[in-house]
Amino acid sequence: MTSLGLYFTKKSVNRAMVSRRTGISQARLSQLSSNESTKLRADELYLIALAIDVDPGELLKEIYKNLELTRA
């Protein structure tokens, strides 16, 4: 499960509602939730955040909180 999928589960997000509000297909939301190799686009993240009434920046931080800069 992806970070987005875990977030959806933790917050009890209704994917059908997100799909209706954003226009993102349920199949795409399923891919974004379960397949680590599927890339979440910025526009999708923004629409999802609006649909579930959270700040897009906070959603971004939550989903990508494990990213770190590499030291050169």
CA-to-CA dists, residue 12 to 16, 40, 62, angstroms? 12, 20, 15
pLDDT in the model for residue 71: 87
Write the secondary structure of 3-69 as one string of H (helix), E (strand) and C (coil). HHHHHHHHCCCCHHHHHHHHCCCHHHHHHHHHCCCCCCCHHHHHHHHHHCCCCHHHHHHHHCCCCCC
State pTM to two decimals.
0.91
pLDDT for res 72: 76
Q: What is the pLDDT of residue 30?
A: 97
Q: Enter the tokens of residue 49.
A: 């955040």
Residues 14-57 pLDDT 10s? 999 999 999 999 999 999 999 999 999 999 999 999 999 999 99
Mean pLDDT over 53-65 rounds to 96
Which architecture characterizes domain 3-63 according to CATH? Answer: Orthogonal Bundle (1.10)
Distance CA(57)–CA(35), nearest Å, equals: 22
